[in-house]
A and B are shown apart, each in its own frame.
Chain A
Amino acid sequence: MGQLTITQLEQKANDIRKDIITMLEAAGSGHSAGPLGLADIFAALYFNVMNIRPEEPEWADRDVFFLSNGHCVPVQYAAMAEAGYFDKTELTTLRKFGSRLQGHPEREKLPGLENTSGPLGSGLSQAAGYAYSLQYLDENPHRFVYVVMGDGELDEGNIWEAAMFAGKNKLSQLVGFIDRNNIQIDGTTEDVMPLEDLKGKWESFGWHVLEVDGHNIESIIDATSQARAITNRPTVIIAHTIPGKGVDFMEYNYKWHGMPPNAEQAKEALEDLRTLGGKITHEGAGV
């Protein structure tokens, strides 16, 4: 697809956030904070970083995306719809009977999904398996594998098994993102099960580690360029994000981890997003 400017990408991220609010309100259940926090990363991936053809999801030369923390799938559905994998009108079928947009992503339901996930901790392994295939079995250096993990799911042992495996095999076509928003269901990650020194942990497993502001699209894109240029190690990008980003009353509030907005809250959230938190005025914003 044609190159979008950073401003256009930011607008895409905002559109994705609006889609998320609309979808979750219609669904009446689901996770709000995580998907909103990931919108900038998904805008960068789907509209700049990844070599994909939304009209041809199984395109043989595509880059591959694995979602490890399946509960954040609303952001992926929104990004996919915005990118043209399917019509945006389908977004409001999220979590409803008969929908292709299952509450947690199912590969066989929706073309463009590369894996089924929900139970945490297994996406990195799947991405590593795919990356291993590209690097050692197919010997195709042109395709890359991206995977998004939550920070809370790093409690899972399976993640560290995969981290060791990718480090051992120097899977340089594997690029991981950690959504470092510091929250999980029972509280902050450092209270529930401390993850720090997170950078040191991944480095000791043989990974190249980058840290970015997960809401700075330019930094996100730069980090992925750097990751692709590193040819002797896998890269993980620790993306510092604000849970609920873009919706004032959801930001930093872990209560919104597993909750959707009701009609009134959705209206307020959409107003927030239209005005970018009051930074701009808009004819529909009521400011």
Chain B
Amino acid sequence: MSYPLNPLVYSKDVETEPIRAGFGRGLKLAGEQNENVVALCADLTESTQMHHFKEAFPKRFIEIGIAEQNLVTVASGLARAGKIPFTSSYAAFSPGRNWEQIRTTATLNNQPVKIVGSHAGVSVGPDGATHQMLEDIALMRVLPNMVVVAPGDSLEAEKATLALAGNGKPSYLRLAREKTPIFSTADAPFEIGKAYVLKEGRDVSLFGTGTMTYQLLVAAQILETKGINAEVVHVPTIKPLDTETLLASARKTGRVVTAEEAQAAGGFGSAVTEFLSDVLPMPVKRIGVNDRFGESGTPSELVEYFGFSGEKLADTVATFVDEMPQYHQ
């Protein structure tokens, strides 16, 4: 069964919505479905879209103030008491500031604390480098017991939030601030640990997570005009990785490119290369931010500057395909 893409995905009229908006809806739904779901925020309730939950379930919303270490450790205690706590802040602060507390009281303690990091990536824009979290994927995915999910659009964020409410595990949900084109549909599947082939191809596999998947779809259209038939695989779950789907695609095309709005070191691309190096040690081009911080600018300026737009990605992929012969075992 092919993935049901939004029919408008390649149109200029494609609907856009911040990914975090889907989280807001999903959390409210999760709250309706399970009375043990509670929400905690560190003074950014509307920004992280928790206000929908707060309005619907005021008793189950806990304001923590600007105290991210307390945010996740109070959540750990709530989880011990049988609750399913969702915590939210900007990703730069949580998990940026409270990593050890997450490590000890959520993952080693193995409690189903949900860390929701909003405003991840350079597309945060004018706030600048301090607020553009790029290291969160790396920080979270190295923790045993942790599940890491970066939804590709707001519809998927809603589904992912519901799924994480029920997975019983410490989990990280990575969200972006800006409006992101919606490539999926209401009927599109989402399951933790699954990757989805959005477009089949034979020359190169493009693995994307979070906001980058849409841009890879655009890149793939451009690449067709250059005679390159790219396969696009959306990988919303960075941990556990859907190695079966990724390996099948890598074997088929013999070339892999990964893309993430995060540090190229240690993140999603690293996760892909780690597993491929064990089973199919092939050249992989990792696209991300290369060992530097972000900076102020409009989101579109920054996306362009860092090479994350469909056009820029197409150029990078075309060069890679040109230079790198297809790998065959």
Contact = CB atoms under 8 A, between A and B. Distances in A.
A170 to B, nearest CB: 14
A162 interface: yes
Contacts of A64: 80
Interface string A130-154: 1111101110000000000000000
A128 B78 CA distance: 8
Most chain B beta carbons < 10 A, residue from A64, A107, A131: A107
A132 B104 contact: no
Contacts of A128: 74, 77
Interface size classification for chain A: 20 to 34
Given A115-B105, A164-B65, A164-B67, A125 B73 contact: yes
A136 B78 CA distance: 11
Contact of B74 (A106, A107, A138, A162): A162
A134 B83 CA distance: 11
Interface string A77-121: 000000000000000000000000000001110000011111101
B60 interface: yes
Contacts of B59: 136-137
Contacts of A138: 81
Most chain A beta carbons < 10 A, residue from B60, B83, B104: B104
Interface in A150-166: 157-158, 161-162, 164-165
B97 to A, nearest CB: 10
Contacts of B100: 119
Contacts of B64: 165
B86 to A, nearest CB: 13
Interface size classification for chain B: 20 to 34
Interface string A39-64: 00000000000000000000000001
B108 A116 contact: yes
A122 interface: yes
B74 A125 contact: yes
B69 A115 contact: no
Contacts of B74: 125-126, 128-129, 132, 162, 165
B2 to A, nearest CB: 42
B104 A130 contact: no
B185 interface: no
A127 interface: yes
A165 B43 CA distance: 13
A131 B85 CA distance: 14
A118 B101 CA distance: 11
Interface string B74-104: 1111111111010000000000000011001
A103 B77 CA distance: 22
A40 B274 CA distance: 52
B38 interface: yes
B144 to A, nearest CB: 11
Contacts of B76: 115, 122, 125-126, 129
A133 B64 CA distance: 14
B70 interface: yes
Contact of B78 (A116, A132, A157, A158): A132
Nearest to B111: A107
A134 B104 CA distance: 23
Nearest to B66: A161
Contact of B77 (A126, A136, A164): A126
Contacts of A137: 38, 59-60, 78, 81, 83
A130 B65 contact: no
28 contacts: A66-B77, A106-B109, A108-B109, A116-B105, A121-B69, A122-B69, A122-B76, A125-B69, A125-B74, A126-B77, A126-B105, A127-B77, A128-B77, A129-B74, A129-B75, A129-B77, A129-B81, A129-B85, A130-B77, A130-B80, A130-B81, A133-B82, A134-B81, A137-B78, A161-B65, A161-B69, A164-B65, A165-B67
The 6 closest A-B pairs by CB, nearest first: A129-B77, A125-B73, A161-B70, A133-B81, A126-B77, A116-B109
Given A125-B70, A126-B77, A130-B78, 6 more contacts: A115-B109, A122-B104, A122-B105, A127-B77, A128-B74, A162-B74
